[in-house]
Amino acid sequence: MAVNVSEATFDRDVVELSKQTPVVVDFWAEWCGPCRQLGPALEAAEASRGGRVLLAKIDVDSNQGLSQRYGIQGIPAVKAFKGGEIVNEFVGAVPPAQVEAFFDSLVPSRVDELLAKGDELSLREAHELDPRRADVAVALGRARLARGAEDEALEAVAGHPGDFDAQGIAARVRLSKAGVGKEGLEALGRGDRATAIDSLIAELPNHPGNGDGDSTRDLLRQAIVGVINEDPADPNAREYRSKLATALG
């Protein structure tokens, strides 16, 4: 929860405290519309980090000395203190994603920590904490596919229809239910990516598209792209993409 800081308490509650825990300082004013817009995003970012980053608010009208000390010329102005020094800052009501990235520069969020663990239980918790994160939904979907839980995998990515990787998971489930690309999907289940991709690409000529974006051909394309994207460091990724482009004509 944000703490209101004054000129009298700033050095103690921000500068000194930041030597132990990063402190994000929000220079704001009651009359400032963009400040009220930004505030909830800052508070949400602090709350999601469970005390590993603290948020302090400074009313510039009541603390003009601090405004002069830190050269505040426009608000909202946000400055991150770590080790007693300013380590990052921005001005204006930036989008929530940018606020999260700003806090991430100080300490990873709980969601990021859970995502890094990678096990399904951690991914499920991360998804519950932030269902807006497509990368978390995709990781959870892949984990569920790995144990054959197709309906659960589809549920995990349902809120991200515009994400290519989420589309790939949904396409794999729909192809499986339709009995299409069985050999390729079975190869995926064995962890044989190369065979899976080649087999799914070979299936494309059997399913001409109808241009509606929802044909079996489109599902095959989406599934193949999703599988390729699972391992961006794969040295064969470029070759796979070239084969896919050729097959699509």
Catalytic-residue membership of 32: yes
The 3-state DSSP class for residue 67 equals helix
**Number of CB atoms found within 10 A of residue 205's CB:** 10
Task: State which H helix or E strand residue 177 sits in.
Answer: helix 164-178
In whole angstroms, how far apart are CA 96 and each of 37, 42, 48, 99?
Answer: 10, 8, 13, 5
Radius of gyration of the chain from Cα atoms?
A: 24
What does 5-21 look like in DSSP terms, one character per residue? --TTTHIIIIIIGGGTS
Out of 5, 25, 35, 188, pick the active-site residue. 35
Q: Are 56 and 2 in contact (CB under 8 A)?
A: yes
Out of 24, 32, 41, 153, pick the active-site residue. 32
**φ, ψ (nearest 5 deg) of residue 95:** -65, 155
Active site residues: 32, 35
